[in-house]
Amino acid sequence: MRTFYVTTPIYYVNDLPHIGHIYTTIVADTLARFHRLAGEPVHFLTGTDEHGQKIERAAAEQGIAPIALADRVVARFHEVWQQFGISNDDFIRTTEPRHRLGVEALIQRLYASGDLYVDKHTGWYCTPCETFYTEKELLPGNLCPIHELPVERQEEENVFFRLSRYQDRLLEWYDSQTEPVRPRVRANEVRSFVASGLRDLSVSRSNLAWGLPFPGHPGHTVYVWLDALSNYITALGFGRPGEDQRYQDFWASEGGVRLHLVGKDILRHHCVYWPAFLMAAGLPLPSTVFVHGFWLRDAKKIAKSTGSAVRPDEIVSRFGPDSLRYFLLREMVFGQDASFSDEGFVDRYNSDLANDLGNTISRLVTLSRRAFGGLTPPESCADNPLIPVAESVAAEYRQAMEEPAFSRALEALWKLLAETNQYIVERQPWTLLGKPEEARRLSRILWNGLEAVRIVATGLLPVMPAIAPRLLAAIGQPEPPSSLAALAWGGLANSVPLPEPSPLFPRIDKAAYLADAQPTAPAKSAPEKKMVSIDEFFKTELKVATVQAAEAVPKSSKLVKLTVDLGDEVRTVVAGIVQQYPPESLVGRQVILVANLEPAKLMGIESQGMVLAASIDGLPVLLQPERAVPNGTRVK
RNA sequence: GGCGGUGUAGCUCAGCUGGUCAGAGCGAGCGGCUCAUAACCGCUAGGUCAUGGGUUCAAGUCCCGUCACCGCCA
């Protein structure tokens, strides 16, 4: 029998839950619920990663023990998961004894395979941090990124893992038929990284007390990623003989699905280190690592709607966690990045949840109650145009959920809603009200509509675990089904009570909501300073140039056309400075030019650059080198 | 610099192995209906499928070049 094991990354407790954590966990939960409905044995694991430098330091800053800090954050995670209806079967913390036992067992296997050895490691060391940094992490000038103090070259002894030995096997794995790394872009990235050559990996740390003791290497702790990644099997009981039934069922069993959901920031750890560790230990690999994208704030949209921000908290408190679950799953093409905005949420909510779903239920329930004394229609209908649609929608939904491709699965369900509304309008059931001779016809029409809605609500059970049962109750089906078999046409009970309809998704007044969404905060009064990186700054090419010729632009009060010498080229530039600087005063003068500015036409003249000037009350004061320098000299 | 990816209607995106592929949803306009949460239904998009070549009877769909943007390179 196929088993289904799904994991989220274990979340690092230096950070409170945010949209990224929530998204991954909702995805995992939706999959777990779907596969349970499909009748498969499911195990859904999430948890927290609690060791390491950052935790140690953050705890020290707050004057508490690392474990106390972790406890605090873990409590918060539990709260949030409860709020979102997360149905995880287990929650692993890397500070638990069961985890340590598993990690030790894994490391024993790595020793046994001959893949661990001790070697000297030289690196950039910051004494106050007691940490080695890679060159990339350092600030310019070899400064520690935390203390901004010079780091020094130091040597330490480490346990190394022979990652290099697994290069070929990893490449084979990426290319295997099952496509273990998805989507393909991500597989390409990892493949090219691995193909460029792997260095052995340091898997122990000295000077870090807040970690698991490294077996056989006193004074050292286990590298946080070796520690953390192991959770996927330690939580199942790996390394604890007699208590490892779940490990046997969900990891070691033939043909079981072992799915890791990860963000693209931890691709390498999950697609290089982790499988290599498992290969070395002689253990089964995950069947799929699914790498999803990030939620971004769309700068353009934010600017347009004057500063609407990502406010999942407010969305949840006002519209419920399931509305957010729906939005996240519907809006992101699984695997790609997507942007998150209040406007996007409101649009999606109104058009999909309020208009299509909520309103369709509302109109059907109202009609049925009126026609049949508060009950569902007495007569069913086994032959009508909605049936083939419902069947193809159910098939498409199941396929998309398997893939998984949530946006497509939901799109399919909504296709059925659209067809249902169309069907209702075509049949005009309201014209049949109060005509006894049309009662049977009316019953069939309304029954069909309600039945279609029942199928949609059934498909929504994994996505909106709190709301979907309420949708079903609203159409007279108070017991939510426990199997995907309920997606088949024909399940709606006849002549059962229909509760009075109440809007499950009240429409959002978009204008009011967005106006309300204006940051009460500082945005306007104290504009935040937008910093640019040195790289961004250097995108602007500033060069010294000498004005060779200048003539006022006819019919313009400010513009002057300049011919400037940039050393290796001569350009035409238009500048709005002629009121302060008569043309003849400009000739021979050196100016600073933005040399890579997009050309622009001013009064019909193409300006190939911009002359820099300070502006006092709108009046320009030209910048110029303190003494003459060669034309074309870069300014920085 | 190397490798990979993207560029299709105002917006978000579908278009696998070349031949009803020029599409969907949202938004906008017009019309209809009134059971329903000012909802629902119908019609309306004249987009050089970034761009220049090429292969082919036939190319968003394959090949080469160019431009723009993005990701990865411990």
- Cβ atoms within 10 A of the Cβ of A387, count? 16
- Ranking A63-77, A382-396, A419-433, A620-634 by mean pLDDT, the lowest is A620-634
Q: Which residue is nearest to nucleotide B34 (CA to C1')?
A: A430
**Catalytic residue (choose from A300, A304, A435, A524):** A304
CA dist A102 and A231 (Å) reads 8
3-state DSSP call for residue A489? coil
Q: CB-based contacts of A82: which residues, under 8 Å, 6+ apart?
A: none
Q: Residue A562: its pLDDT value, please? A: 80
Spell out the residues 6+ positions from residue A25 whose beta carbon is closer than 8 angstroms to its own.
A8, A46, A81, A84, A86, A88
Distance between CA atoms of residues A386 and A420, nearest Å: 7
pLDDT for position A526: 29
Q: Read off the tokens for A160.
A: 């190394």
pLDDT greater than 80 at residue A305: no
Q: Which residue has the tokens 């910093």?
A: A531
Which bases of chain B are under 7 A from a protein CB atom? 2-5, 12-14, 25-27, 32-42, 71-74
Looking at residue A586, its pLDDT comes to 79
> Residue A618 — pLDDT band, cuts 50, 70, 90?
low
Q: For this structure, is A121 an active site residue?
A: no
Residues listed for chain A: 636
Place of tokens 């007569």: A379
Of the pLDDT bands very low, low, confident and very high (cuts 50, 70, 90), residue A520 is very low
Q: Tell me whether residue A144 is one of the annotated catalytic residues.
A: yes
Give the integer Cα–Cα distance in Å for A288 and A182: 7
Residue A129 is among the residues annotated as catalytic for this protein = yes
Three-state SS for A124? strand
A268: which nucleotide lies closest, measuring CA to C1'? B74
Residue A496 CA to residue A472 CA, distance in Å, equals 12
Give the per-residue pLDDT at A601.
61
CA of A337 to C1' of B6 (A): 12
- Distance in Å from B49's C1' to A179's CA comes to 30
Residues contacting A81, CB < 8 A, separation 6+: A25, A46, A88
Q: Residue A293 is encoded by which pair of tokens?
A: 């994208």
Is-catalytic flag, A524? no
Q: Is A447 left (phi over 0), alpha (psi -120 to 50) or beta?
A: alpha
- The span from the CA of A561 to the CA of A568, in Å, is 20
Catalytic hit among A264, A269, A301, A415: A301
Residue whose Cα is closest to the C1' of B72: A189
Q: Is the pLDDT of residue A534 over 70?
A: no
pLDDT digits (tens, 9 = 90+) for A91-108: 999 999 999 999 999 999
Distance A422 CA to B31 C1' (A): 17
Q: Residue A423, CA: closest nucleotide via C1'?
A: B41
The C-alpha torsion from A64 through A69 and A70 to A74, rounded to 10°, is 150
Q: Which region among A138-152, A251-265, A310-324, A459-473 has the lowest average model confidence (pLDDT)?
A: A138-152
d(CA A606, CA A17): 52
* Interatomic distance A69 CA / B23 C1' (Å): 53
Lowest mean pLDDT among A302-316, A369-383, A458-472: A302-316
| CA of residue A619 relative to chain centroid, distance | 47
A502, closest nucleotide (Cα–C1'): B37
CA distance A117 to A120: 10
Distance CA A160, CA A276 (A): 13
pLDDT at A532 over 70: no
Q: Is the pLDDT assigned to residue A529 strictly greater than 50?
A: no
pLDDT (mean) for A114-119: 96
Q: What span, in angstroms and rounded, lies between the C-alpha atoms of A228 and A242? A: 23
Output the CA–CA distances (angstroms, integers) from residue A67 to A58, A74, A115, A231, in the order listed. Answer: 11, 10, 32, 18
Say which residue the tokens 């600017």 belong to: A303
Is residue A71 packed enough to be buried (19+ CB in 10 Å), middle (13-18) or exposed (0-12)?
A: middle
Selecting among A78, A129, A269, A558, the annotated active-site residue is A129
**Cβ proximity of A126 and A133 under 8 Å:** yes
Q: How far is the CA of A42 from the C1' of B24 (A)?
A: 34
- Closest among A180, A22, A12, A8 to A89, alpha carbons compared: A8
Pairing status of strand A116-126 against strand A152-161: antiparallel
Of A96-105, A151-160, A336-345, A562-571, least confident by mean pLDDT is A562-571
Question: Among the listed ranges A24-28, A39-43, A116-120, A581-585, which one has the minimum average pLDDT value?
Answer: A581-585
User: C-alpha distances in angstroms, A214 versus A128, A158, A224, A364, A526?
Assistant: 23, 10, 11, 65, 50
Matching residue, tokens 């104290």: A526
The reply to whether A561 belongs to the active site is: no
CA angle in degrees (0–180, nearest 5) for A365-A371-A377? 65
3-state helix, strand, coil in chain A (%, to 5): 45, 20, 40
Is A18 annotated in the active site?
Answer: yes
What is the per-residue pLDDT for A344? Answer: 87
ipTM entry: 0.93
Q: Beta A11-12 vs A42-49: how paired, if at all?
A: parallel
pLDDT at A387 over 60: yes
Indicate whether A303 pLDDT > 50: no
CB distance A305 to A343 below 8 Å = yes
A419 CA: nearest nucleotide by C1':
B41
Protein-to-nucleotide distance from the CA of A347 to the C1' of B44, whole angstroms: 22
Q: What is the pLDDT of residue A374?
A: 96
Distance A313 CA to B52 C1' (A): 50
Question: Which pair of tokens denotes residue A261?
Answer: 């959901």
| E strand intervals along A162-256 | 181-182, 201-202, 204-205, 221-222
Among A180, A201, A177, A203, residue whose Cα is nearest residue A190: A180
User: CA A39, CA A484: separation in Å to the nearest integer?
Assistant: 8
HSE-up of residue A13 (Cα within 13 Å, Cβ side): 32
Q: Describe the crossing of helices A467-474 and A359-371 by its angle, rounded to 10 degrees.
A: 30
Query: Per the residue annotation, which of A43, A99, A126, A381 is the catalytic one?
Result: A126
Q: Give mean pLDDT, residues A476-498.
A: 96
A534 CA to centre of own chain: 28
CA A192 to C1' B6 (Å) is 19
Measured CA to C1', the nucleotide nearest A504 is B37
Contact between residue A94 and residue A49 where contact means Cβ atoms under 8 Å apart: yes
On the question of pLDDT at A322 being above 90, the answer is yes
Count other C-beta atoms under 10 Å from residue A319's C-beta.
20
Q: How far is the CA of A431 from the C1' of B30 (A)?
A: 26
Is-catalytic flag, A136?
A: no
Note the pLDDT of residue A81. 97
DSSP string, A572-632: EEEES-TTTS-HHHHTT-EEEEETTPPPEEETTEEE-SEE-EEEETTEEEE---SS---TT
What is the distance between the alpha carbons of residues A223 and A49, in angstroms, rounded to a whole number?
12
Q: Encoding tokens for residue A359?
A: 């309103």
Amino acid at A542: L
Helices in A428-567 by DSSP H: which ranges? Answer: 439-460, 467-474, 510-516, 534-538
Six-digit token pair at A381? 């209908």
Weakest-pLDDT range from A471-475, A498-502, A596-600 = A596-600
Indicate if A271 belongs to the active site: no
Report chain A's mean pLDDT, rounded to a whole number: 87
Q: In this structure, what are the phi and psi dihedrals at residue A263, rounded to the nearest 5 degrees?
A: -85, 160
pLDDT of residue A302: 38
Whole-number pLDDT of residue A300: 39
pLDDT at residue A587, rounded to an integer: 79
Please state whether the peptide bond connecting residue A145 to the residue before it is cis, i.e. omega within 30 degrees of 0.
no
Give the N- to C-terminal CA distance of chain A in Å, as an integer: 67
Please tell me whether residue A371 adopts helix, strand or coil conformation.
Answer: helix
More confident of the two residues A137 and A218: A218
